[in-house]
Amino acid sequence: MNFISILYGLFLLSVLGIYWSVTQQKLRLWTLLIASLVFYASFQVHYIPLLLALVFINFRLGQELGKKTTSEPQTLDWELSNEEWQFAIDWNRRRLKLLWLGIVLNIFLLLGFKYLLPLLRFFLPSLVTSFTDSFTLIAPLGISFFTFECIAYLVDVYRGAPPTQEFLLFATYKFFFAKLISGPITRFHNLANQFKNLRVLTPDIVAEGLWLIARGAVKKGIFADHLGVFVDLCFGNLQRAGSTDLWLATFAYGFQLYLDFSGYVDIARGSALLFGLVLPENFDFPYFSTSIADFWRRWHITLGDWLRNYLYFPLGGSRQGLDRTCLNLMIVMLIAGIWHGAALGFVVWGVYHGIALAVHRFTDAISDRFEDLENFWQQPLGIVLAWLLTQFMVFTSWIWFRLPNLEDSSLVFQRLWGFSADEQFAQKVYIHALSTSQYQLAMSLIILTVVMAGAYIFNRILKLQFNWPVKLVFVPLCFYSVWLLAPEGSLPYIYFDF
């Protein structure tokens, strides 16, 4: 069920009608859970029992982790008897074992689908082929987001957050269709509080929800998919593409990835808002970052928060000196690369970002010692230079992301300078397929950058927003534009693969 389709529109309207026609919280939760299961079944119905089992296991582990050690929680440590002390120590050890059991279980499931299956296909192709004759052996959609949310819940409960005693509430949180497949990664307690204290719909909330859905549809249906057509043609014909084509495809893919993923999140957040729920922001104009650290505070924000809270800080964060901080950053970004996929290109991408973050830390440390250097990075020339270096690093790193096969990505890097395109490539891609030219395509990317810069100035610097009547005017215009201008046969969402 594609987010940009008439079917999804009818599905959303139907669920909204039932959801707001009932008044009891439990009935609303059942409505959302059943609707979410139907939504997921439209993609992969055979994985629903597995995910339900995973939800129940994490629910029970959370309950066990949250049990109190004594009946008098306010008792002072020095008033405890030796038996109570021993009980508390043994219980804390058991809680730690339960936490690790939950983490290992979730990670094993994630790595099993993302890494074990590719290894089996490589080493035992006949076994996998015979097994898949009756069962499609691919990773469940959204498994990465699903497991990360489960781990976050268990760690939060271990740290002292109250566990839920309502399986229906927990299952609805996990399966909520707006965020189920590609996030944003949402913490349980935040969404659970919203379920229990539902916001009343007002005209401005409805307008904001519809505007987010319409804006996301434009990002994905018009901009991302048109760019994706060129990216697929260019990266699918590496032997014939020239250096200019590869540079254009590299920048086009960077924009495609951002517009595709942020468009999905906009639709997800807009859909949730119509149910009175607020999902977290996931993007904050990342391509206007002036450092790689700032980029990761603005790109895939919920993943960055997860990596900081549940990996970087437990490793020691920046509390143990510069060398250890850089090592922690490298470990975190390596795991971020592995999280995205099994191919070596994702590992290289993660290491590349880890190195960039470490270099940024060293640069900051050096700048702190030299006042002139620190002042330079705060002047207009230094800001522009920092922005150019950051975006050059980010966009070139997307090559490994788009072509995780190292043979393909290495070929692109080898041909970024001094290679001319095959004559047939230029004719088939630019003339026959796209009806444009290299120059026009480059100008389109520049115009897109200017439009994004205008939106950045409008929102971040001037702090301006459309009022809700204006948003309602733009909503049908956006949907009509998508219907009129979107390419035939919409491309799948990129982050569905992760």
Domain boundaries, the chain: 6-196, 203-283+415-497, 286-402
pLDDT at residue 70, as a whole number: 42
At 266 the pLDDT is 96
138: how many CB neighbours lie within 10 A of its CB? 11
Q: Provide the whole-model pTM.
A: 0.91
Q: Is 353 a catalytic residue?
A: no
**Of the listed 340, 353, 360, 432, which one is catalytic?**
340
> What pLDDT sits at residue 428?
86
Cα–Cα dist 233/421, whole Å: 13
What is residue 217's DSSP assignment?
A: H
Alpha carbon 432 to chain centroid distance? 35
What is the distance between the alpha carbons of residues 143 and 498, in angstroms, rounded to a whole number? 8
* Number of C-beta neighbours around residue 489 at 10 A: 7
Helix (H) or strand (E) holding 394: helix 380-402
Residue 497 has what pLDDT? Answer: 74
pLDDT on residue 173: 96
* pLDDT value for 167: 97
Distance CA(136)–CA(22), nearest Å, equals 38
Angle between helices 243-274 and 203-218 (to 10 degrees): 160
- Summarize pLDDT for 320-367 with one digit per residue, the tens: 889 999 999 999 999 999 998 878 999 999 999 999 999 999 999 898
pLDDT 10s digits, 423-470: 888 888 888 888 888 899 999 999 999 999 999 999 888 888 889 899
Q: Quickly tell me which residue has 């990670």 as its tokens.
A: 107
The reported pLDDT for the residue numbered 74 is: 47
The number of angstroms, rounded, from the C-alpha of 177 to the middle of its chain's C-alpha atoms is 15
* The predicted structure's pLDDT at residue 72: 45
Give pLDDT tens digits for 73-115.
Answer: 444 444 545 555 455 566 678 899 999 999 999 999 888 887 7
Q: Provide the pLDDT for residue 71.
A: 43
Report long-range pairs for 117-126 (Cβ below 8 Å, ≥24 apart): 118/342
For residue 78, the model assigns a pLDDT of 46
HSE value, Cβ hemisphere, 13 Å, CA-based, for 63: 10
For the chain, list residues with pLDDT below 70: 68-91, 117-137
Residues 6+ positions from 102 with CB-CB distance below 8 Å? 57, 58, 61, 65, 150, 151, 154
State the burial class of residue 123 (Cβ atoms within 10 Å of its Cβ: 0-12, 13-18, 19+). Answer: exposed
